[in-house]
A and B are shown apart, each in its own frame.
Chain A
Amino acid sequence: MNTELVGSIAQIVMMIVLAYPLGRYIAKVYKGEKTCLDFLAPVERWIFKLCGIDPNVEMSWKGFLKALLTVNLFWFFWGMFLLYFQQYLPLNPDGNAGQSSHLSFNTCISFMVNCNLQHYSGESGLTYFTQLFVIMLFQFITAATGMAALAGIYKAMAAKTTQTIGNFWNLLMKSTTRILLPLALIVGFILIMQGTPMGFDGKMKVTTLEGQEQMVSQGPAAAIIPIKQLGTNGGGYFGVNSSHPLENPTYLTNMVECWAILVLPMAMVFALGFYLKRKKLAFSIFGVMLFAYLASIGINTYYEMNGNPMISAMGIDQDAGAMEGKETRLGAAATALWSCTTTVTSNGSVNGMHDSTMPLSGMMEMLNMQINTWFGGVGVGFMNYYAFLIIAVFISGLMVGRTPEFLGKKVEAREMKIATIVALAHPFVILIGTAVACYYWVYNPAFVEAEGGWLNNPGFHGLSEMLYEYTSASANNGSGFEGLGDNTWFWNFTTGLALIISRYLPIVGQVAIAGLLAQKKFIPESAGTLKTDTATFAVMTFSVIFIVAALSFFPALTLGPIAEYFSIY
């Protein structure tokens, strides 16, 4: 059998097999049970004491959200300041300049909301200092923020009736020290042994075999890449992310990095089962997500391995697949797998250029982000699914004429309103954003020209570039059809707004739903209760999600990737 396909299968198997025990471990961490990393407890206690934080105070859902939003607000100022003034700060051996005000606004927000949309190139747009004290720091703590929010929701779901959902600071700390940090170290060790740079020297000057001069960018890459993958951040150290041969030097590093994208989002679903002691519910949710994930892998792998029909028509040998924008050491199948893995989660790292993938692969990449619930970002991904679960419970309840209940709690108008707003905000932001961009493109060409023309490809594909950018921003993904010239006032500013809305609105809404439900009276399960852990209900949830996404996005996708598909096949 083709070794590229075997490699892809091995990666998927490795994710699932290791996510299960990791999920059990995560549930233990959030419940405060004994784990093998308890020796870190004194360090955590010491930090809390220094900061004047009592990690044992239970918070109401409102207090929890207040702490979460305040610390995020502080990070915004921290990031803006350091990025804007980076040229005056230490650790800048290559003499890179500070970021412009609208670029630092976009960069700061994008890393603060765990999106990592990058409108600059890592080699020249950041210094080693900002790479470590803004980018990498945010990659840890914003991922931990999402995980902490989910841990709060777990607590709310597990309790019979409760006014409190845990301590935000404690969950934030535990997510960082007990989960992200140890995993990042392991991945970092592997990358270093495989040849990823981890030093502080500036660019390396080499004279090539043909006598030319080549400046090789390097730096502390092996520290940033692990957390970029694990925290569903995705912001690459180098401009081209994990297609860069120093960021992803071998097929082994590719397997490890791709594994690292999905292992935590998968583990968080299993953790739900262990935390609530409802393994069947977790398995049925996992099944829905895995099915959607595998379906998109199938489509992308097929199209990427078969190559570009327009190039086949030129009569050359395209056995290797569609190699434009891909790397020889990774191959077409590995890039197809990665393109799905990075878009079902909110990761957004790439190991090949999505702009150059085949039309329907590009469509699946967008659709994964537009649906935004298959595994999703660490923490926030499952929370999106949770909003759809509530909607599915409500609709099924109406269909069979039973009071809609989820885990012993009545779902009522207030929760439904919040869930609906959260579910509809996503398509709203994406489609309105794209529509505004299209309007400018058509009716104000002078403005677009002054911004450098934006698009790198004409026709249907050009529309896809704009649609992809807003999709990626709203899904807090951060990958791009990178042909789009997006370091401009318009794109920095508008996608920055999209980022804020689509990060905080869902978090607030989902935590609120969980908090509201938790306060309600617990109704014991009876023969009349709608079962939410069955295959039927799994299919129901899948349908609700798919219909909402397909109905909202189908027209836009028809004009972009689907039209392009019919123009070349």
Chain B
Amino acid sequence: MISTLFKSLKLTVAFCILLSVCYIFILWLFAQVAGPNKGNAAVIELNGKVVGATHVGQPFTQDIYFWGRPSHAGDGYDASSSGGSNKGPSNEAYLADVEARIDTFLWHHPYLKREEVPAEMVTASGSGLDPDISPKAAYAQAKRVAEARGIAVDKVMALVNAHIEGPLLGLFGPQKVNVLKLNVALEKAVAKNHEDGIK
């Protein structure tokens, strides 16, 4: 027994060297070469400044931006404390929350009919950090964004269309729009419009 325990110790240390050191080192090295941001989360820049991690959703509340989904990560989109609501489908308090979110969404988008409110915009994501929304959810917001920015709805719609990411290989999985990428593109387009106006 004692000798087996001692063997176990030595074997465990050997496994540590093989797995927790060698295996880790190979992957770390690979990430330095082939990873999108040298082993860190990939980021998006605007005017040379980092404005967020590509895959991590962030809170948007202003009318000039497209919004992401409701979040239960910390106080909302807390990327150091991911979390879902874990509300069951029959929970009455939860269903009342959803009702309230629908009303809020309709108040901000008075041009929408009730049956046009996409469910994902009133239900919380699993991680609380969902970076994406569906194309439908982006279309629903386009008019509000355009009005807040004072630009044509068509232009915003075109921008949304340009940012729809199709299924993998055109075959597998849902369509989506990355909210942060879309908003950054929106900022760029507006800035360019502005420059053109000055010229």
Chain A residues engaging chain B, CB cutoff 8 angstroms: 3-4, 6-7, 10, 43, 47, 50-53, 66-67, 70-71, 73-75, 78, 121, 123-124, 132-133, 136-137, 140-141, 169, 176-177, 181, 184-185, 188-189, 192-193, 195, 197-201, 203-204, 206-210, 212, 214-218, 220, 222-223, 238-240, 243-246, 249-252, 254-255, 307-308, 310-311, 314-320, 322-331, 334-335, 350-353, 355-359, 456-461, 464, 481-483, 564, 567-568
Contact = CB atoms under 8 A, between A and B. Distances in A.
> How extensive is the interface on chain B, given as a class?
35 or more
A84 B164 CA distance: 47
A189 B23 CA distance: 12
10 contacts: A51-B11, A75-B8, A124-B80, A240-B128, A314-B99, A316-B118, A324-B89, A325-B85, A329-B173, A334-B173
A136 B19 contact: yes
Given A136-B19, A240-B82, A356 B120 contact: no
Contacts of A195: 35-36, 41-42, 54-55
B58 A331 contact: no
Interface in B51-105: 51-62, 65, 69, 77-92, 94-95, 98-99, 102
A201 B40 contact: yes
B198 interface: no
Contacts of A326: 125-126
A192 B30 contact: yes
Contacts of A223: 23-24, 27-28
A206 B171 contact: no
B145 interface: no
A457 B88 contact: yes
Given A124-B81, A356-B87, A317 B115 contact: yes
Contacts of A352: 84, 126
A459 to B, nearest CB: 7
B81 A132 contact: no
B168 interface: yes
B126 A325 contact: yes
A459 B196 CA distance: 61
Given A193-B36, A199-B40, A245-B127, 11 more contacts: A4-B173, A43-B18, A53-B11, A71-B4, A209-B46, A209-B180, A223-B28, A246-B55, A320-B174, A350-B126, A355-B87
B15 A567 contact: no
A325 B58 contact: no
Contacts of B132: 327-329
Contact of A329 (B5, B12, B174): B174
Interface string B165-199: 00110011111100010011001000000000000
Interface string B12-42: 1011101110011011101100111011111
Contacts of B12: 71, 74-75, 78, 137, 141
A210 B130 contact: no
Contacts of A4: 173-174
Contact of A208 (B24, B42, B59, B115): B59
A6 to B, nearest CB: 6
A47 B18 contact: yes
B162 interface: no
A71 B114 CA distance: 61
A538 B91 CA distance: 41
B171 A6 contact: yes
Nearest to A134: B20
B76 to A, nearest CB: 10
A538 B126 CA distance: 38
* CB-CB nearest 5 A-B residue pairs: A199-B39, A483-B86, A243-B126, A461-B88, A7-B172
B79 A216 contact: yes
Contact of B115 (A67, A140, A181, A316): A316
Contacts of A220: 24, 27-28
A568 B69 contact: no
Nearest to A10: B172
B119 A307 contact: yes
Contacts of B147: none
A123 B173 contact: no
B117 interface: yes
A192 B35 contact: yes
Contacts of B24: 132, 220, 223
B142 interface: no
B114 to A, nearest CB: 5
A376 B16 CA distance: 27
Contacts of B15: 137, 140-141, 176
B152 interface: no
Given A51-B10, A239-B83, A327 B130 contact: yes
Contacts of A123: 80-82
Contact of A356 (B69, B86, B122, B174): B86
A297 B124 CA distance: 24
Contacts of A124: 80-81
A164 B125 CA distance: 53
Nearest to B91: A457
Contacts of A240: 82-84, 126-128
Contacts of A204: 40-41, 43, 53
A214 B79 contact: yes
Given A141-B15, A327-B127, A481 B20 contact: no
A210 B60 contact: yes
A321 to B, nearest CB: 8
Contacts of B98: 311, 314
A51 B5 CA distance: 11
B62 A320 contact: no
Given A3-B173, A137-B19, A181-B19, A308 B9 contact: no
A382 B1 CA distance: 29
A182 to B, nearest CB: 10
A213 to B, nearest CB: 10
B163 interface: no
Give the interface centre of A7, A318, A328 by most chain B CB atoms within 10 Å. A328
B102 A314 contact: yes
Nearest to B133: A328
A206 to B, nearest CB: 5
A243 B84 contact: yes
Contact of B27 (A137, A185, A315, A457): A185
Nearest to A135: B20
A210 B62 contact: yes
B85 A315 contact: no
B156 interface: no
Contact of B84 (A7, A217, A356): A356
A206 B55 CA distance: 13
B129 A244 contact: yes
B146 to A, nearest CB: 18
Nearest to A315: B114
A209 B60 contact: yes
